[in-house]
Amino acid sequence: MTVDPQTHPLPKRKNPKPSNVEFMKLRRREKAEMVVLCGEKPQRTISAEKYRYALATLEPLLN
């Protein structure tokens, strides 16, 4: 599955500080209210290709 950069462009970076990834373990019968996929990428971890792959994977679940 490929994502068209024209319809899903990478968000522009708002500040130069690296962002963090936080994981939360949900309890039994708990559901997440929100999934955040942030385009602000730390300098050495996420590439544009990985961001678009994650977006393409998560988008059908969010709609």
pLDDT by 10s per residue, the chain, length 63:
566 767 776 666 665 555 555 566 666 766 666 556 555 555 555 677 777 777 787 778 776
Structural domain for 52, as ranges: 1-63
Domain count, the chain: 1
Instruction: Please name which of 59, 54, 52 lies closest in space to residue 3, comparing C-alpha atoms.
Output: 52
Residue with tokens 């968000």: 11
CA distance 29 to 27: 6
CA distance 43 to 33: 29
| Residue 14 in tokens | 């708002």
pTM of the model: 0.31
